[in-house]
Amino acid sequence: MAFPLANSEAFLPPHIQPPNVGQWNVSLQHRLSENWVASVSYLGNKTSHLWIGNEYNPAVYIPGTCSGKPCSSTSNTQARRVLSLENPAAGQYYSQMTIADDGISSNYEGLLASVEHRFSAHYTVLANYTWSKCLGIAPVTSLGTGVVQDPNNVRGDYGPCTYDSTNLFNTSAVYVSQYGHGGPLSLLLSNWNFAPLIHYQSGLPVNPVSGKDYSLTGVGNDRPNVISTTAYTGAPHGLKYQYVNPNLFAPNATGTFGNAGHNSLRGPGLFDIDLAISRDFKILEGLTLETRGEAFNLLNHPNFMGPNANISSSNFGQITGAYDPRILQASMKLIF
């Protein structure tokens, strides 16, 4: 049975604890000049008693042959489930059983550096860089089907969080143009607002999977074995991008689990520049024309999605998709 989070612990079953969050931080800020401020901060948190769904009735691998056939195969999964082995008569009626495991924890540590120019001389700038690490049993889900590779070794899925990005950089600015001190050109070129946004983040984790139930547990979350020290090629092949070394992994042996870590691969980073330009034209008293133009991915820089991480797929390791190309849009609004 899945128990939803409640505002009161009284609604939780006795063996389930609500998530517990601890946070800490320390910051140092220094005023560089009248309008420039720099800061460095250390941020940390730990969350305990997160919930995931874990398979309670997996199939047990039995080596060898039975009556001339393999004792373990995908065709006798139900007969090898824990409850079926304990009591075949009653256990045959119970297939997958997901229980709430509240023993999951995650932790985050980050170093944040920023510099800011407060608005003066017609412009403001804010730049920040974060170096961080998030680890946990991922992904944390609503209590659905089991998410770990080995139901008897939840800790074996400890690794980078699904949203862990080691490097994150952002710069935003606003500049109000000023040209001359009067005249037609000054009227035309002044008071435009330019607002660029520069964003970079390193690649997000990708979880390698075997794609088949080699462990014969009926769970289907097997990971492969690592057989190469070269993880990435970064080389394009025709119209597809072979990002991960196709010979990096091998299927895990029958009845075993692979040694590849959870979320042990990384997708490519993302770089993006957006720009907004706007200006208000006062036509008459109480009548204003607002104009605005926006460019997303201004440089039309290709940002690729994560690679295919299923080693059973013919496209394993390849990137076959990308995020949006350059998008331009403009608008005008009359305010009265």
The reported pLDDT for the residue numbered 142 is 57
pLDDT > 90: what percent of the chain? 75
Residue 138 pLDDT exceeds 60 = yes
CA gap 244, 265 in Å, rounded: 9
> What are the tokens at 20?
């517990």
pLDDT confidence tier of residue 239, bands split at 50, 70 and 90: very low
Sign of CA dihedral 250, 252, 158, 221: positive
Say if CB 254 and CB 248 are below 8 A apart. Answer: no
Average pLDDT over every residue of 150-165: 94
CA gap 97, 192 in Å, rounded: 62
Average pLDDT over every residue of 201-222: 96
Q: In sequence order, which ranges of the chain are alpha helices (DSSP H)?
A: 82-86, 88-91, 184-189
Identify the three-state secondary structure at position 248: coil
Measured between its terminal Cα atoms, the distance across the chain in Å is 58
The reported pLDDT for the residue numbered 143 is 67
The reported pLDDT for the residue numbered 241 is 85
Residue 76 pLDDT exceeds 50 = yes
Report strand pairing: 270-284 vs 225-226. unpaired
Q: How far is CA 110 from the centre of its chain?
A: 16
Place of tokens 């609500």: 18
Residue 155 pLDDT exceeds 70 = yes
pLDDT confidence tier of residue 218, bands split at 50, 70 and 90: very high
CA gap 308, 321 in Å, rounded: 10
The reported pLDDT for the residue numbered 102 is 86
253-271 residue pLDDT tens: 999 999 999 999 999 999 9
The reported pLDDT for the residue numbered 322 is 92
The reported pLDDT for the residue numbered 16 is 65
Say if CB 322 and CB 305 are below 8 A apart. Answer: yes
Residue 2 pLDDT exceeds 50 = no
Q: How far is CA 62 from the centre of its chain?
A: 37
In this prediction the pTM is 0.84
> What are the tokens at 25?
């931080």
Q: How far is CA 27 from the centre of its chain?
A: 26
Cβ contacts of 216 within 8 Å, gap of 6 or more = 59, 61, 72, 73, 74, 77, 80, 254, 255
Residue 4 pLDDT exceeds 70 = no
DSSP string, 28-58: EEEE-SSSEEEEEEEEEEEEEEEEEEEESSP
The reported pLDDT for the residue numbered 77 is 96
Residue 140 pLDDT exceeds 80 = no
7-40 residue pLDDT tens: 334 344 556 677 789 999 999 999 999 999 999 9
Residue among 113, 112, 121 at smallest CA distance from 34:
121
Given its phi and psi angles, is residue 11 left (phi above 0), alpha (psi -120 to 50 degrees) or beta? alpha
Say if CB 69 and CB 80 are below 8 A apart. Answer: no
DSSP string, 320-335: --B----EEEEEEEEE
Strands (E), the chain: 20-31, 36-55, 65-66, 69-70, 98-120, 123-137, 158-160, 167-176, 193-201, 205-206, 225-226, 232-237, 240-244, 249-250, 265-266, 270-284, 287-296, 318-319, 327-335
Show the CA angle centred on residue 126, arms to residues 42 and 165, nearest 5°: 50
The reported pLDDT for the residue numbered 1 is 35
Average pLDDT over every residue of 182-204: 91
The reported pLDDT for the residue numbered 289 is 92
- Domains of the chain, by residue range, sit at 57-96, 165-335
CA gap 149, 267 in Å, rounded: 21
> What are the tokens at 79?
């007969």
